[in-house]
């Protein structure tokens, strides 16, 4: 049930934040409700940090689950940065660490949580954007591709569940 509003301006809410102060007089286009803070900026958090999305992508798409596999699949990432991002992603609830073997050599695997799985369609949309608008960099033939050209039917079905 959508709130009633006139002239496409949503009703005021009681909590005043800097985001609300700067946006409350703007007309809305797609929104049904007001936000106390910007959900995009709030959601970025760890996801906006370098290497966070590629780590989540590698777990989801390429089944990378071990520290050394990440180092191999992400050229340019240092072990220190990788360890930091894995800790941050775990702390924020995007991934979980499972210790397979605790005594040396220690074996640890990483997997997505439900929250992490919810980032997969975001990554797919970003990949689709890059395939269309950055084709000159993404593809050797430099030809743009549509989503259904880069994802399997299983991938498209997965994405449709979130749209």
Domains of the chain (ranges, CATH numbers): 1-37 (no CATH), 45-116 (1.10.10.10), 119-162 (no CATH)
How far apart are alpha carbons 85 and 71 in whole angstroms? 12
Per-residue pLDDT tens for 28-74? 788 887 788 888 888 888 999 999 999 999 999 999 999 999 999 99
**Average of per-residue pLDDT values in the chain:** 89
| pLDDT at residue 13 greater than cutoff 70 | no
Q: What is the pTM of this model?
A: 0.81
Give bridge partners of residue 99 from the DSSP assignment. Answer: 108
pLDDT in the model for residue 25: 76
Question: pLDDT-based confidence at 24, cuts 50/70/90?
Answer: confident
Please identify which residue in the block is written with the tokens 């596999």.
Answer: 69
C-alpha to C-alpha distances, 74 to 50, 59, 66, 109, 129, nearest whole angstrom = 11, 12, 12, 17, 21
Residue 93 gets the label, from left (phi > 0), alpha (psi -120 to 50) or beta, of left
Residue 68's CB: how many other CB atoms inside 10 A?
10
48/27 Cα distance (integer angstroms): 27
91-143 pLDDT, tens per residue? 999 999 999 988 888 899 999 999 999 999 999 999 999 999 999 999 999 99
Rounded to the nearest 10 degrees, the angle between the axes of helix 120-133 and helix 153-162 is 120
Six token digits for residue 34:
């007001």
Q: Specify the residue for token string 């924020």.
A: 92
Mean pLDDT on 67-87: 97
* C-alpha–C-alpha distance, residues 22 and 96, integer Å: 38
């Amino acid at each position: 049930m959508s709130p009633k509003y006139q002239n496409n301006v949503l009703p005021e809410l009681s909590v005043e934040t800097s985001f609300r102060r700067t946006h409350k007089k703007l007309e809305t286009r797609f929104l049904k409700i007001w936000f106390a803070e910007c959900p995009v900026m709030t959601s970025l958090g760890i996801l906006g940090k370098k290497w966070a999305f590629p780590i989540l992508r590698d777990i989801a798409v390429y089944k990378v689950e071990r520290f050394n596999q990440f180092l191999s699949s992400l050229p340019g990432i240092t072990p220190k940065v990788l360890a930091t991002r894995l800790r941050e992603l775990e702390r924020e609830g995007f991934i979980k660490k499972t210790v397979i073997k605790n005594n040396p050599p220690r074996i640890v695997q990483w997997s997505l949580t439900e929250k992490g799985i919810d980032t997969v369609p975001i990554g797919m949309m970003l990949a689709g954007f890059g395939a269309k608008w950055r084709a000159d960099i993404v593809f050797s033939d430099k030809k743009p591709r549509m989503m259904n050209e880069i994802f399997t039917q299983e991938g498209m079905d997965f994405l449709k569940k979130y749209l």
